Amino acid sequence: MQQDFDVEYVIGSPKVEAALSEAAALPPFSEQALQFLSVLSGLALKDAEGHVYPDVVTFGFWCRKASLMKQRAMYDDLSVRLGRGVVFHVAPSNVAVNFAYSCVAAFLAGNASVVRLPSKKFPQVDIFCRLWREALAQVPELQQYFLFVRYGHEDEVNARYSSLADTRVIWGGDETIRRFRQYPLKPRANEVTFADRFSLAVIEADRYMASEGKDALAQAFYNDTYLSDQQACTSPHLVVWFGERTAEARRAFWERLHDLVAKEYDFSAVQAVDKYDALLRLGAEMKLRQVKMEDQLVVRAEAEKLTPRLMEVRTGSGFFVEYIADDLAELYPVWGTMTQTVSYFGFTSKEIQATVMAGCPRGVDRIVPIGHTLDFSLFWDGYDLIRSMSRVVGVV
């Protein structure tokens, strides 16, 4: 690990940085990429320290060669594509493993990467960087494709890495996007931005009550929400109920979730105050009615109607707005441009997809079962990451 003035080189060095523009633009899903990721996957799946963290294990499964070949099969134009060159990734501060997936997507698309690591200290980040170094030790000819750095909010460094980029990928939300757009890109460079987003869950109450997997669903919903303090863009903040047995289902669902949170979640007094403050403010502004719970571990507020303003409610730490609906089409007011993921139980994905396509909303980019909102995909926020970070070599 080297230090160069205001930049900490976690993976790579000033020498690697200087040589980034000389790295060959590879074809998507190249043999080099598949070889390296196979090594990295094996290390992640065998690592004793990494096994403590489910997101490290999930990453290891995701980048197995068999998994990547399935994703490769979704593309029919790879023979005429090459990487764009250098991708500069600005990772979010609130999600530990995002930077790793972003870098892997860029490498699969054929590019070298500069990764600005999360500012928040996550154990998983240190684990990933150690595994990355171990993998590069086995495939040293690929060292020129990876530069992982840490630094503060220095304009000069942001501008430096932006000027190197053929693609800039910004995961940090609206404010980060606005800040980075002051740093010019190359004339032919493109940009992939991931803005602040809103997500929700839909549950069919009658099918929930008939299910024998209520405890498993509570765990799945917990993973979608509390593992990231609801700070991930995929975490549901609104839960919409359907069916005849909504009263029974809601009671059973939230009681199970509460018991799980009490056992597994590290809750602070500050979080309780923040949620209570949000409840009072939103109750006055939007006529949300508090649903009584025994403590502040799970805070629920019921909405009289769905409005676009609800898409801005992202308090976190276990604050949920609920609504009882008769039909999926009632969700159109909250399927605006800010809406990313709809997670579901008791519906089929095709039912939800059909409603989305029929209504032509400007939002909803992902439809996944509850428990899978954090699963990474090469199709994210409406972007095809492989095509966004590669170019077509046209022949006439």
CB-CB contact of 195 with 391 (8 Å): no
Closest CA to 326 of 205, 223, 185: 205
Query: Which DSSP state fits 70?
Result: H
Q: Decide: residue 137, CB within 10 A, 0-12 exposed, 13-18 middle, 19+ buried.
A: exposed
pLDDT value at residue 314: 81
The maximal CA–CA distance of the chain, rounded, in angstroms, is 69
pLDDT value at residue 353: 97
C-alpha 331/C-alpha 199 separation (Å) is 12
pLDDT value at residue 225: 95
Residues in CB range of 296: below 8 A, 6 or more apart: 267, 271, 272, 275, 276, 318
pLDDT value at residue 4: 52
SS3 call for 369: strand
pLDDT value at residue 93: 83
pLDDT value at residue 209: 98
Q: Decide: residue 372, CB within 10 A, 0-12 exposed, 13-18 middle, 19+ buried.
A: middle
pLDDT value at residue 2: 54
**How far are the Cα atoms of 11, 27, 383 from residue 87, in angstroms, in the given order?**
15, 15, 15
Which residue matches tokens 């154990």? 123
State which residues of the chain have pLDDT below 50. Answer: none
pLDDT value at residue 42: 97
Q: What is the Rg, in whole angstroms, of the alpha carbon atoms belonging to the chain?
A: 22
Residues in CB range of 6: below 8 A, 6 or more apart: 151, 152, 154, 156, 157
Backbone angles phi, psi at 10, to 5 degrees: -85, -45
pLDDT value at residue 292: 87
pLDDT value at residue 351: 97
